[in-house]
Structure 1
Amino acid sequence: MIKIYYPTHSFKIREPERGKEEIWDELRKLWVRLNPEEWVRQNFIQYLLQVKNYPASYLAAERNIKLGELNKRFDLMVFDRSARPWMLVECKAMDEKLNSRVMWQVLRYNMAVPVKYIVITNGEECHAFVRGEVDFEEIAVLPGYDE
């Protein structure tokens, strides 16, 4: 498991007329509903940007992918400098356990969009894996962007 120390960030949060809190997503440049999973995603984005120094222009949040006949959405994708998918991040709410169901979900996404690194996090726990010769192997620290 990787210990994540989230940086402080002044998130923009509003409560529109509908009564559901929203948070400004700096990557998507739009207001999104602030649910527990979104809170984890936004904090993890700030960790990648501020602590790991990943370039914002190579991050994408909540994009559609085709998985057979199904349309799915990944939480966060990091692209390499050649704009190829490099890391896939699956975010869950803090009270959700990171179990085999979560891992299988992200592995299915990886079938549609192969990546070198897979990360699963619920904000408290974070596990990262690198593609090995045969399978993904757990790693103890997230790679730097230039690795």
Structure 2
Amino acid sequence: MQNLKFPNFEFRFKSTENRLHVFDIIRKKFVVLQPEEWVRQHVVHNLITIKGYPKTLINIEKQLIINGLKKRYDVVVFKPNGSISILVECKAPEVNITQNTFNQIAIYNMNVASDYLMVTNGLQHYYCQMDNKAEKYVFLKDIPDFSR
């Protein structure tokens, strides 16, 4: 897999049916290693190892219903009180981050009202702090570390 602009993390791999799998420490199972999954796994390890977020507050690929349509978010980090702190949209490294990517995460965020947004393809990372009442966001250099 391609090197990404994250610190180096240790991953567990296995090969079955001629497909490479990576162990997802949140879902506690091996998942097929696709380019977007490679990015998602780096995001999760970065949130836990570098930013200090507990695994118990992180959720991966859950369904949302938006205007009657089923959608899936990539990564969500909850606050201890159950509200959402960070919403992450992951793209494969070969996918350019465009306005459409920001539109996608903004639509998802209308349902979850996250404090922070992260958009990444593993090579480029964008971070925003939300003002959900004013429906605006401010770009940041990084998302905050975990604090209780």
Q: For residues 7-48 of structure 1, what are the alpha-carbon distances to aligned partners after superposition, in whole Å with 9 as ceiling and x for unaligned?
A: 33221111102x221111010011111000000010111111
Q: Residues 35-92 of structure 1, C-alpha deviation per residue, up to 9 Å, x if partnerless? A: 0000001011111111111111100011111112111110000001102111100011
Q: Is 1:124 the counterpart of 2:120 in the alignment?
A: no
Name stretches of at least 5 consecutive residues in structure 1 with no aligned partner: none
Q: In structure 2, list runs of 5 or more residues that go unmatched.
A: none
- The equivalent residue for 1:11 is 11
Q: 1:15 is matched by which residue type in structure 2?
A: S
Question: C-alpha distance in 1, partners of 2:120/2:8?
Answer: 18
Matches within 5 A, 1:8-47: 8-17=8-17, 19-47=18-46
Q: CA RMSD in A?
A: 1.6
Percentage identity across aligned positions? 29
Bigger relative contact order, structure 1 or 2 (CA pairs below 8 A, ≥6 apart): 1
Is the contact made by 1:7 and 1:50 (CA closer than 8 Å) also made in structure 2? Answer: no
Q: C-alpha distance in 2, partners of 1:27/1:20?
A: 21
Q: What is aligned with 1:97?
A: 96
After the TM superposition, which parts of structure 1 deviate over 6 Å for at least 4 consecutive aligned residues? Answer: none
Code of the residue aligned with 2:29 in structure 1: it is L
Q: 1:70-120 deviations in whole A, cap 9, x for unaligned? A: 111100000011021111000111111111010011011111211111110
- 1:71 is matched with 70
* Number of residue equivalences: 143
Q: Tell me, in whole angstroms, the C-alpha distance in 1 between the residues paired with 2:84 and 2:56.
A: 13
Distance 1:84 1:119 in 2: 17
Distance (Å, rounded) in 2 between the aligned partners of 1:24 and 1:118? 25
Matches within 5 A, 1:41-60: 41-60=40-59
TM-score, normalisation: structure 2: 0.91
